[in-house]
């Protein structure tokens, strides 16, 4: 007897069992997308942090350079201030020497004036002696001798006056030189005060 064909009846798949794989697949896709986005965000953040760190290092380097320049500028300012103090002290010393020389000039001028007065007096006396020698022929030799003495004294006084005049001229030259030095020192102080301080 021939075998009858066996028919296997498949049980119907419930619709609920299809929803689960779809949901799981969707979750997996969402997780993958989220992971990719997070990876991208983390990469951007790492790049931003790296750039910020680079900028920070550059800023620190710039600050170090500025600090070094500031120290150099401070040292330069100290040197300029020291130079100004030296110039001012030299100016005070030159001014003091100039005042002393001016006082000496006054004294020398006074001595010169006195010498000129004495010389003029001797000149007058010599002229009087000449007149007296003419009037008194008997006293000619004495008058001549007195005139010669007075002439010698007059020459001595003239020599003294010339020496005092030379001293006065030398003193005036020294005074002029010190005034030039004082003006140069004051000009140097002005230039140093106008020098801009670097920051």
State the fold for domain 21-194. Helix Hairpins (1.10.287)
Banded model confidence at residue 1, pLDDT cuts 50, 70, 90: very low
pLDDT at 2 exceeding the cut of 60: no
**pLDDT for res 87:** 85
Mean pLDDT of the chain: 81
pLDDT at 95 exceeding the cut of 80: yes
**pLDDT for res 6:** 46
Banded model confidence at residue 10, pLDDT cuts 50, 70, 90: very low
Banded model confidence at residue 136, pLDDT cuts 50, 70, 90: low
pTM exceeds 0.85 for this model? no
Cα–Cα distances in Å, from 34 out to 10, 22, 39, 180? Answer: 40, 18, 8, 88
pLDDT at 199 exceeding the cut of 50: no
When pLDDT is averaged across residues 94-98 and rounded to a whole number, the result is 84
Banded model confidence at residue 82, pLDDT cuts 50, 70, 90: confident
């Amino acid at each position: 007897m021939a075998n009858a064909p066996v028919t296997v009846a498949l049980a119907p798949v419930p619709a609920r069992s299809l929803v689960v794989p779809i949901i799981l697949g969707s979750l997996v896709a969402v997780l993958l997308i989220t992971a990719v986005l997070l990876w991208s965000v983390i990469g951007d953040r790492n790049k931003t942090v790296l750039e910020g760190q680079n900028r920070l290092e550059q800023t620190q380097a710039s600050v170090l350079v500025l600090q070094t320049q500031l120290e150099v500028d401070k040292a330069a300012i100290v040197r300029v201030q020291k130079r100004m103090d030296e110039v001012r002290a030299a100016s005070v010393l030159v001014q003091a020497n100039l005042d002393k020389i001016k006082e000496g000039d006054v004294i020398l001028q006074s001595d010169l004036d006195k010498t000129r007065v004495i010389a003029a007096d001797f000149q007058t006396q010599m002229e009087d002696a000449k007149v007296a020698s003419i009037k008194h022929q008997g006293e000619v030799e004495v008058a001549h001798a007195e005139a010669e003495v007075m002439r010698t004294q007059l020459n001595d006084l003239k020599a003294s006056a010339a020496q005092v005049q030379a001293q006065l001229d030398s003193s005036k030259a020294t005074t002029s030189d010190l005034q030039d030095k004082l003006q140069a020192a004051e000009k140097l102080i002005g230039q140093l005060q106008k020098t801009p301080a670097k920051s």
